[in-house]
Amino acid sequence: MATISATSIVLGSSIKRTDWVNKLGHRLNHPNGVMASSREPDQGLPFPQNVNLPPRLPKNKKKPYPIPLKKIQRAARADKKLAEKGIEKPLGPPKNGLLVHHLIPVAYEVLEAWKVLIKGLAQLLSVIPVYGCSECPEVHVGQVGHQIQDCRGPGSEKRRSFHKWVKGSINDVLIPIESYHLYDPFGRRIKHDTRFNYDRIPVIVELCI
């Protein structure tokens, strides 16, 4: 108590003990005898404080599936029987799929530009020859292939790393990259054993459709 009085004299103030403690950020003595913090409680918190967690519901009271589980299992068994008989189930278009309506004109423009690109390449190749190495991915544009010894394909040791040039095509300039065509993007994933059951089309076409 003597220390508090001395400190109050040094500070040159005649404030109350509770106010003095409040200035230093200490806990205050509540009038009812409960210790309270000098900070005001935060208002407008995004989550309410000191609220009980929601009760843990039993299985029979939990939110059910949008489609009853028994109905889903029944449809799966019917599809399995059709697959065992070799009957292919017709697939309709997906309800939402990956279609973005405001990008439909862009997809048409991309496909048309892709066709123009292939047509233009065919015209260029009829005038400017292109050669490709039959043993490695090397491509050369010109009247004859170059003589640089940097081939790493099969049998390159016997050829002293010289390339084995053959007449090139559009595929040597515009490398075709294909993807599996999925009628239902949200359906079952393609497995290794069923990979031959799906068609492969150019990636640019799959992206646009």
Phi/psi at 14 (5° precision): -115, 40
E strand spans, the chain: 28-29, 35-36, 130-133, 139-141, 165-167, 178-180, 200-202
Q: Is residue 58 part of a domain?
A: no
Q: Is residue 161 part of a domain?
A: yes
Q: Is residue 69 part of a domain?
A: no
Q: What is the pLDDT of residues 100-115, one digit of tens each?
A: 788 889 989 999 999 9
Q: Are residues 21 and 109 in the same domain?
A: no
Q: Is residue 117 part of a domain?
A: yes
User: Total structural domains in the chain?
Assistant: 2
Residue type at position 57: L
Q: Which two tokens stand for residue 8?
A: 């109050």
At 76 the pLDDT is 86
Q: How confident is the model at residue 123 (pLDDT cuts 50, 70, 90)?
A: very high
Give the residue from 182, 139, 183, 179 showing the smallest Cα distance to 163: 139
At 9 the pLDDT is 44
Q: Are residues 110 and 193 in the same domain?
A: yes
Q: Is residue 148 part of a domain?
A: yes
At 16 the pLDDT is 45
Q: How confident is the model at residue 37 (pLDDT cuts 50, 70, 90)?
A: very low
Q: What is the value of pTM for the model shown?
A: 0.48
Q: Between these two residues, 87 and 21, which has the higher pLDDT value? A: 87
Spatial CB neighbours of 162, under 8 Å, sequence gap ≥ 6: 147, 149, 151, 156
Q: Are residues 27 and 110 in the same domain?
A: no
Q: What is the pLDDT of residues 125-160, one digit of tens each?
A: 889 889 998 888 889 998 888 888 888 888 888 888
Q: Between these two residues, 29 and 156, which has the higher pLDDT value? A: 156
Q: Are residues 105 and 202 in the same domain?
A: yes
Mean pLDDT of the chain: 75
pLDDT beyond 90 at 88: no
Q: Which two tokens stand for residue 170?
A: 């559009």
Q: Report how many helices (DSSP H) and strands (DSSP E) the chain contains, helices first.
A: 6, 7
Report in angstroms the alpha-carbon separations of 157 from 28, 134, 140, 144, 164.
Answer: 90, 15, 21, 22, 12
Q: Is residue 96 part of a domain?
A: no
Q: Is residue 66 part of a domain?
A: no
Q: Is residue 46 part of a domain?
A: no
First to last CA, the chain: 84
Q: Which domain holds residue 32?
A: 2-36
